[in-house]
Amino acid sequence: MEISSLLTANKNNTYYITINRPHALNALNAEVLRELSWVLESIRDDKSVTCAIITGSGEKAFVAGADIAELANLDSVQAKNVSEKGQKIFSTIENFPKPVIAAVNGFALGGGCELAMACHMRVASENAKFGLPEVSLGLIPGYGGTQRLTQLVGKGRAIELMTTGEMIGAQRAYEIGLANHVVPADKLLDKCQQILSKIGSRAPLAVARTIKLANSAFAANGFEQEATEFGNCFDTHDAKEGTAAFLEKRKPNFEGK
């Protein structure tokens, strides 16, 4: 498969996956998700790969969100299908038998924050920003965000962040448990590699089983509910208005219907 939206490299048994759409602040579109799924499958049983780092191209953004232009005209059935596909790919990351770290360099918003949360750990640069601002578009997180944010930071904080759409900085993300570490931008990948080197000295089967058991602590049926409600959003006026306003660079006029 020809890859055009990702940069990949295997360095010292660590597989680097870089979302490479800097013109769009590395926003996730169908092509990125398809290629990401293919890359993960290709390295799953590759003996030369013991771990992975996912990051974004450039210094401004890890992933600034989903590609709203692709979502704006979906109906509820199509949107639910998109949600389920995204959830499946992010669950592949979450359940990957080899440790995966998100190196969050800049904006991790919407789908980007969801991608980071699907990784086993998050190391943030000092300029990183996290947020799930979907309610400002009349939508909700659709790639597992409602479930994973609640698991990581607790119900109260998760509801506040998701219902306000507030964006928080790296230090605040660290304080509430969303980020594992905060480091200067030029030390970001070094810190990720330091963690992975330590894990690499441990028994790989034990590491894989630890990841599996940590994930099994949470029920999975919330994802199905999320996909259904994500799809239902696309039958609302507010979602159509919110996405249109975003694309037209104006303030949305929500009517609650």
Helix (H) or strand (E) holding 143: none
Which residue of the set 84, 114, 226, 255 is catalytic? 114
**Of 240, 249, 70, 110, nearest to 257 (Cα)?**
240
Q: How many residues does the chain have?
A: 257
Cα–Cα dist 110/132, whole Å: 4
Cα–Cα dist 126/105, whole Å: 8
Q: Is 134 known to be catalytic?
A: yes
Residue 242 lies in a domain: no
pTM exceeds 0.95, yes or no: no
Residue 216 lies in a domain: no
Residue 1 lies in a domain: no
Q: pLDDT tens digits for 167-206?
A: 999 999 999 999 999 999 999 999 999 999 999 999 999 9
Check if the beta carbon of residue 126 is closer than 8 Å to that of residue 113.
Answer: no
Q: Which two tokens stand for residue 255?
A: 């009517």
Residue 221 pLDDT:
78
Residue 238 lies in a domain: no
Q: Which domain holds residue 42?
A: 6-185
Residue 161 C-alpha from the chain's centroid: 16
Residue 101 lies in a domain: yes
Name residue 23's amino acid: H
Residue 146 lies in a domain: yes
Residue 164 lies in a domain: yes
Cα–Cα dist 145/63, whole Å: 14
What's the mean pLDDT when you consider all of the chain? 95
Does the pLDDT at position 162 exceed 80?
Answer: yes
Cα–Cα dist 143/109, whole Å: 12
CB atoms within 10 A of CB 233: 25
* Total of domains in the chain: 1
C-alpha dihedral (155, 160, 161, 162), degrees to nearest 10: 80
Check if the beta carbon of residue 101 is closer than 8 Å to that of residue 121.
Answer: yes
CATH value at residue 39: 3.90.226.10
pLDDT band of residue 222 (cuts 50, 70, 90) is confident
Cα–Cα dist 102/214, whole Å: 18
Residue 62 pairs in a beta bridge with: none
Cα–Cα dist 147/138, whole Å: 19
Summarize the confidence of residues 43-47 as an average pLDDT. Answer: 95
Tracing tokens 């930071």 back to the chain, one arrives at 153
Residue 97 pLDDT:
95
Q: Is 114 known to be catalytic?
A: yes
Residue 209 lies in a domain: no
Which residue of the set 35, 84, 134, 226 is catalytic? 134
